[in-house]
Structure formats: structure tokens, C-alpha cells
Structure 1
Amino acid sequence: MVKSKVLVVGGTGYIGKRIVKASLAAGHTTHVLQRLEIGLDIDKLQMLLSFKEQGARLVEASFSDHRSLVEAVKEVDVVICTMSGVHFRSHNILLQLKLVEAIKEAGNIKQRFFPSEFGMDPALMGDAIEPGRVTFDEKMEVRKAIEEAQIPYTYISANCFAGYFVGNLSQLGTLVPPKHKVCLYGDGNVKVVYMDEDDVATYTIKSIDDPRTMNKTVYLRPPENIMTQRELIAKWEKLKGTQLHKISISQQDFLSSMKEMDYAGQVGVGHFYHIFYEGCLTNFEIGQNAEEASALYPEVCYTRMDEYLKRFLN
């Protein structure tokens, strides 16, 4: 089988570096965009050089130089964008729209574009509360541009990254397990989907040249990683051999806590509300223009959350 030529934009980021690794592991010719604006960011430069040592090709380009983006895109079959907005309205949407224009001009009919999403499906978040709603609206604006340009695409909905939602038992404001007490969102019985970030990358790369995922949304919902917050906590308690004191937070009290927070905190609370109170990750059936990753690729041995939690044991 002929391997794809892949360009990763945002390859030094949280998900991007994993996408690069998974693409190389799968044997794809992997290009990583090296932005001319990197300046004195030594950590990013060293990561890029490590990608090069592993076999990736570094491609210099700039979002302020349209021609350089077009030339970078012409070299590949697939573009995966993993730039993060980090909860703030930023240049992310503008940069992705520039990337869409470059892909359109390159005119490579084999091209497939994966925009920077990897979380909740923005198409299902039309009623999201402010200020977090802006992140979904921006993603939908990028989708609109992609589809109007008739660029083949795949959207990845990866749900809750384990690094941010599992080790901390889904507690806001920390990344490690609580020692004595844990807050429950409501009764803690809403179904959530937790994903190891390396598995997100593996499933993404699996889908890049699969005709079944063309012009569709791919949901990452492996059955053993669909669980309630209570079930997640129980896994930790079993591993640790201890019981945590559980404090239930009502929907009203949880939303009221936004008043004391800065913008980023309010966005975080809004997203947690939709996930843990409304059940936005699991309260719908996967429709006709979508696929579920673990069903498409049963050969992937994805990380279960009790295994993930073992790294936090003393």
C-alpha cells in the first residue's frame, strides 16, 4: 500500500508532537512545518530537530508568506493542523483560514485536511454557553471555509484528553489525583469519554487514507473508555486502596463559580458543564456522516483508564 505524504502544522504542540510520532511510526513521509517566526524558542527548535533525526522533513514556511504555505502544501497528500487556541480567542482561526486558502490554491485533488479540533464536536455545540461558545463558533467557521472550498476533510472528535481529565479525576485546577476529597459534578453519573493522547494520534493517522473517513467526522469513543466520573474515581480508589470523601456540586453552584474567574477559567467551567452535567459527549447517536474510530480500527489496543492511572501511584 502506498503511504501518504503528511504535513503536520503545529507539530511541536501537545497533540501535534504525538501526531508526528504516529505518522512516522506508520511509515508515512512526514513533513513538519517549521515556522519562520520560531525566533529564539529553543525548546521548539530542539523538538523539530529531534523529529528530523527520526526521519521527518522540516519545511520552512510562514503564515505571513502565502506562497511559502502553498509550496509546503503542494508537497503532500494530507495536511493535519494541530494548533491550539488554548481557550483564548487568538490568531488560531485566522491562521487556519490562511491554511485553507493555501490548500485551495495548491489544488492537490488528493489532499485531505484535518483542521485543529480534537475535542468536542463543534457541530453539536450550537447552544454552548458564553464565553466558551466562541471556541466552537470559530471551529465551525473553519469548517465552513473548508467545505465551501470543496477540500476533502476529516474532522476528529477526540473528547477528553486523559492528561487533563483523568489523572486529576476530572478536578478543575489540578493535574494530579486529590489525596482526601474529590468533587462530583452533580451525581457523577453522566457518561464521559476519556482518551489517552497517544491513542488520539494513532486513530488520527489510521484515518488519513481511509476512504470510509472521507468528508466525515470520526468520533473517538472506544467502549471501555466510556464511563462516568464516579466510575473513574472508583478505578483510582481500587488502585490506591483508599476511599475519597466525595462532595457533590449542584449545577447551579457550579455555574455560579464562573463569576469569580477570569476569562480562561470561565471557558473551562463552561466546557466542564457541558461534559459532566449535560453529557454532550455521549448524549447522541453517531449519525450517517460519521464513524467511530475503535469500530473502524479494532486492531488498535487503546489505553484503558485504569492502566493510565497507574502512572500516578507512588
Structure 2
Amino acid sequence: MEKSRVLVVGGTGYIGRRLVQASLAQGHPTFVLMRPEIGLDIDKLQMLLSFKAQGACLLEASLDDHASLVAAVKQVDVVISAMSGAHIRSHNLKLQHKLVEAIKEAGNVKRFIHSEFGMDPSKMDHALEPGRVTFDEKMELRRAIEEANIPHTYISANCFAGYSCPNLCQLRTLLPPKEKVHVYGDGNVKVVFVDEDDVATYTIKSIDDPRTLNKTIYLRPRDNILTQNEVIVKWEMLSGKVLEKIHIPADDFLASMKDTDFPHQVAVGHYYHIFYEGCLTNFDIGEDGAEATLLYPEVEYTRVDEYIKQYL
């Protein structure tokens, strides 16, 4: 079967650049949106040029220029948006409504994957302020996609390993703790950790698969469904050093939001749902979803202990 032509929007971002690489690796004709708004960001420009050297095609279009966006979309079969929804970086989820309008007008797109890649927002209607804004905006976009009858796949990738494994799930750092580690509650809530390159691999695998059409695909690698305590033990075994554990009750953790910056408040709320409530694993996948590692057992995903070895 001929491979779909793929357009990645946000291709220079944290997940976007991995999606571009995965699309090229899996043999898809790959296009990357190059926005004139890039200005003097030399790092992004050079990354785009490196994609071009690897065989990707750069399509110049602006989210503020509807006609150029429609023209870009008409050249492909699949559109994947990786625009940032992380408040610690940049938060651009609402801009994707312009992409929905362009896809709707173009009328040729066989699959749209918009920027989710975290916990399933449809399970988060109880989410705490201010972090719930992320889920509300993602659900608003889902409604726009479905009202426009755009074929789609939603990707629920859970916790990115780089943000949550080497630091043993600590906030405000990406590095492993040296002496002490904060443990959320009893540390025994099951969480799902996924290597970011694997997120991209599974996402690209899904785009031509009729089993994933108009469904939510959950990434739940069995060996990476771990408690915080289990992640800590893996690090202690690798490093040969036992850390002091400081357990934080739920009320104390939520109280730590007070008088902090907005991104930190968002992160505390999200971590509460993940590490205290267990929102990533406390539900079964229904008929409107599927699990990626079962769909694609041929993918050799990265285990948590393999991932954190590089931080020794």
C-alpha cells in the first residue's frame, strides 16, 4: 500500500522533531510546515534544513494566512500537529483551530492527529484549576474536529520519560536527585511512562491503520506501567545509592501551589491527578479506543531502566 503523505505542524518542537524523524524512517513522504514567524530563530531554521537534507519537504505557510495553510494541507493526506501545550515551554493549543478550518476547507485529509500526547482529556472533566485549561482546550478542539467531520486519531501517550523518569518524578528539575527524593503519598500509584521516540513511532504507525480511525490510541507499554517507588528502586539499583524518601500527603502537595508561578501551579495539579488519583491507569480502554503496544507488537519500546541509564 502506498504510504500516506504526512505534514507535521510544529516539527521543530520536542515531540514534533521526533514525529518528523519517525515519518521519514517509516518511509512516508514527509512535509514540515515552515512558518514565516520563525523570524531570527536560527536553531529552528537549521533544524528545518536538516530535515530537508534527510528528504523532508518544507512547506512555507502561516497559521495567520488561511489561504497558504489550505494550500499546504492540500498537498498531503495526513496532518499531525505537535504544537506545544506545556506551560513551562509555550502554550499554543488554541492556534490549532486555524488548522481545523484549513483542513475542513481543503477537504482531502484522510487523517488528522492534533496535539494531545498526554493524559486523555476526556477523562479529566474533574481536573483542578488552573491546570484544567489544558484539558478544556483539548476537548474544545476535539469537538471542532468532530463537528467538521474530519477523520482523526487521538493519541494518549501519558508521561514523557524525559520529564518524569530521570528526575524520579520530581518537579522543577530534570536531573536525578542526589540525596533525597519526594514521594507522592505512599508512592504506590501506577503511572505510565513512555520514551518520546516511541511516542512518535507509535503515532506514525497509526496513521494508515483503519483500526485507529476516529479512535483514541493509548500508549501503555506493559513494562513501563510503574509506581513512583518502582522507578526510584530502578534508579537506586543502577546508581548503587539509596535515597532518603520524604513522603508528601496529598493536602500538603496541593498546598504547595500557593504563591507560586502559573506553570508550577499547572504542574502540581497535573501531578496530583497522576500520582495521587492514578488518572492514567484507573480506567479500562473501551470500544472507542485501542492500545498501541497490542496493535504494533513488533515495536521494541524502550524500558524505563534503559532510559535512565544515560543519566548515570
For residues 197-242 of structure 1, give each alpha carbon's deviation from its aligned partner in whole angstroms, at most 9, with x where no partner exists. Answer: 0000000000010000000000000100001000000000111112
Normalised by the length of structure 2, the TM-score is 0.98
Distance 1:98 1:217, change over 3 A: same
Does 171-180 or 5-14 show the bigger shift?
A: 171-180
User: Paired residue for 1:225?
Assistant: 224
Counterpart of 2:184 in structure 1: which amino acid? Y
Kept in 2, the 8 Å contact 1:159–1:193? The answer is yes
CA deviations on 1:254-300 (whole Å, 9 max, x unpaired) are 00000031111100000000000000000000011000000000000
Contact 1:111 1:152 in 2 (8 A): yes
Matches within 5 A, 1:113-262: 113-262=112-261
Match of 1:28 in 2: 28
User: 8 Å contact 1:4–1:78 — kept in the other structure?
Assistant: yes
Q: Distance in 1 between matches of 2:206 and 2:286?
A: 18
Secondary structure in 2 aligned to 1:303?
coil
Tell me whether 1:70 sits opposite 2:66 in the alignment: no
Q: In the TM superposition, what are the counterparts of 1:7-22 in structure 2 within 5 Å? A: 7-22=7-22
Equivalent pair of 1:152/1:214 in contact (CA under 8 Å): yes
Gaps of 5+ in 2: none
SS in structure 1 of the partner of residue 193 of structure 2: strand
What whole-Å deviation, never above 9, does each CA across 1:88-137 have from its counterpart, x for those lacking one? Answer: 797724320010000000011x5210011100100000000000001100
Asked if the contact 1:186/1:248 (under 8 Å) is kept, the reply is yes
Give the corresponding residue for 1:293. Answer: 292
Residue by residue over 1:168-223, the C-alpha shift from the partner in whole angstroms, topping out at 9 and shown as x without a partner, is 00001110110111110000000000010000000000001000000000000010
Q: What is the rounded CA distance, in whole Å, between the counterparts of 2:60 and 2:191 in structure 1?
A: 40
Residue type matched to 2:216 in 1?
T
- The one-letter code of the counterpart of 2:223 is E
Give the stretch that moved more between structures: 20-29 or 235-244.
235-244
Identity of aligned residues (%): 72
Give the unaligned 5+ runs of structure 1.
Answer: none
Q: Is the 8 A contact 2:121 2:135 kept in 1?
A: yes
CA RMSD of aligned residues (A): 1.2
Q: Residues 89 and 135 of structure 1 are in contact (CA less than 8 Å); yes or no, is this contact kept in structure 2? A: no
- Please state if 1:43 is matched with 2:38: no
Please, what TM-score do these two structures have when normalized by structure 1? Answer: 0.98
Displacement after TM superposition at 1:47 (Å) = 0.2
Alignment map for 1:44-123 (pairs within 5 Å): 44-87=44-87, 92-108=92-108, 110-123=109-122
Structure-2 separation of matches of 1:94 and 1:133: 14
Q: Where in structure 1 do 4 or more consecutive aligned residues deviate above 6 Å?
A: 88-91
Distance of aligned partners of 1:61 and 1:168 in 2 relative to their CA distance in 1, 3 Å threshold: same
CA contact (8 A) 1:7 1:31 kept: yes
Contact 1:119 1:157 in 2 (8 A): yes
- The amino acid across from 2:148 in the alignment is A
The answer to whether the 8 A contact 2:84-2:90 is kept is no
Equivalent residues of 2:193, 2:304 under 8 A apart:
yes
Mapped pair 1:304 → 2:303: yes
Check whether the contact 1:114–1:154 (CA below 8 A) recurs between aligned residues. yes
Q: Per-residue displacement from partner, 1:41-78 (whole Å, max 9, x unpaired)?
A: 10000000000000000000001110000010000000
Counterpart-to-counterpart distance in 2, 1:225 and 1:232: 9
Distance in 1 (alpha carbons) for counterparts of 2:305 and 2:185:
23
Rounded to whole Å, the distance in 1 between the matches of 2:3 and 2:297 is 20
Q: Matched residues in 2 for 1:174 and 1:92: separation? A: 23
